[in-house]
Chain A
Amino acid sequence: MRSKILFAVAGAAALLVTIAGVEAQPPAGAPPAGPGGRGPGRVGRFKVYSPAAVTRGFAAYNSTCGYCHGERGKGGKAGPDLVFSEVTLHDEDGVQITARVRGAEHAKAGKVDATDAQLVDIAAYLHSRVIYASGRGDVRMSEVLVGNAKAGETYFNGAGGCAKCHSPEGNLKGVASKYDVATLQDRLVMPRAGRGGRGAAATNNPYATITLPSGEKLKGAPIRVTDFDVTLRLEDGSTKTWARNRGIPKVEITDPLQAHIDIMMKLSDNDMHNLTAYLATMK
């Protein structure tokens, strides 16, 4: 039951993010659309409204509220921020927002020409903005490509040492067609996916060499390596565990991507951006 609820929330959140198509074509200078939340659990703190209501609300907001409260509810010359507003944050289904808009205090600032149904939609839009604001946003892909491809090529073939393992006509052929520019940049630093390099292709995973007291050496994928035990998946597919004490048996970990770790520690941002620009030419 719990997982079903999470799926439901996740689905609604994803839909909402898509609707941020409303956000997806923001005026120049505004942040791009993106998954606001950090996963369904976080979105679960905020009420998610239907994409249709958010879309209608976006249009109604712009025609009714935007003049005073600014683009995307961030506050304008005549009205305060509505995203971090206590009225918005305490609102349930437009009730509190409608009461505020119809109330005496707001009447002093000006009459709002909107139906009750439109105010409910505007509330839905503002709630979608709260979720968006609480998130991290997306990388602005069109602005990542700032490097010099020629300089990147020079670094690739020279100081970077990339050409020792890679070539544009070999294992990097067409790489720019496979990945967006930010992913190209991420992967040139560390090809394993995810922060910390999780999710690597099996061929890139570190492997372990264990030296048994007899002198025999075995290689395998390190399943678990602690001070007290080591478990490897051996080359024949079997899994084996040994007890360890004071570093015996000896276990050495070899990372096929060690060159990337070494480069990571000396790579300047200029060189990284130039390399990205060079990789982006490899369509």
Chain B
Amino acid sequence: MKLLINTATAALLAIAGAGYATSAQAATICFAFQDLETEFWIAGHKAITTTLTEAGHTVIERNANEDANRQLEQVRDCVAQGVDGIIIIPQDGESAVTIVNEAQSADVPIAVFNRPPSDLSKGIIVVADNATIAEQATDFVVGQALESTSGDEKLNALIIVGDLGDPNAVGRKDGFYAAINKHEDRFNVIEVASEWDAATALANLEAAVTANPEIDMMFTSSDFLFPTIRSVLEPRGMWKKAGEEGHIPLAGLDGDATACQLIKDGFVSATGVQDLYFEADSAMTAILKAVEEGNAQPNEVIEDPGFALTSANLADREMDMWGCVLLSEGFLKN
């Protein structure tokens, strides 16, 4: 499976990486990530390390195991080793600010991948527009939910929220509400905390569905929770394909391989897609450019507009989603 991920990643990045691989001098880049718990982070990690290495750069990898203090120490260690640049996936928005300041004080350019600091003014910040992407995905299932009812009765919309300390989770929640508020008088909202943990999501979702057996649409802040959602809905006869009696329009966000498979199967209607390869490419290009130009404090926000892959545009946009690319390479056949 590792080979398949490598192959897919390398193939997709070959064109993107070629541009700067030849122009930039060989650099030593410290890549400090918080952990690799989901498909998104694994694919992002592969994209960055593979491309940099293949372009002749040296990558020093540091895994903080979800410990913000450890990540700060790891970045300090990288600075002490004299790296040319740093790319981080921070544990949270607050610790990211401290780490960016630490690197810039030491005159080492730093890029933050996907999880933005609470202060966007310093460092190269590559971030998905979580709110807009979530809104697009939610819009689609809101439309489906409204179409499935003939009267004006209020519908129940359930959102599984991520860790509220994570700016991405907050952005996704905001995007969900932006879509819901377009039809404010038509929806009751049920919020379920997941803390980005499958066991917590399982317990809380069971309670929420027991309290509110009539769910008309659902949005999960991350695709990795779809198996958990299935575990709760299936025994209650609520895990149905589109077109079957009792189908609940479901949407997620990330664009992973599981979501791709579930959209194809008809269980999931939409997922917000972060353009992983665009984000990885942007972070690498910007940091290598700063190294080459000798810019120690580059400050720039690079936004990934993303898009929503839905059951309606699946045929056209399937291969724009990183999860579908991995799926086509057999990622889920582990």
Query: A and B from one assembly?
Result: no
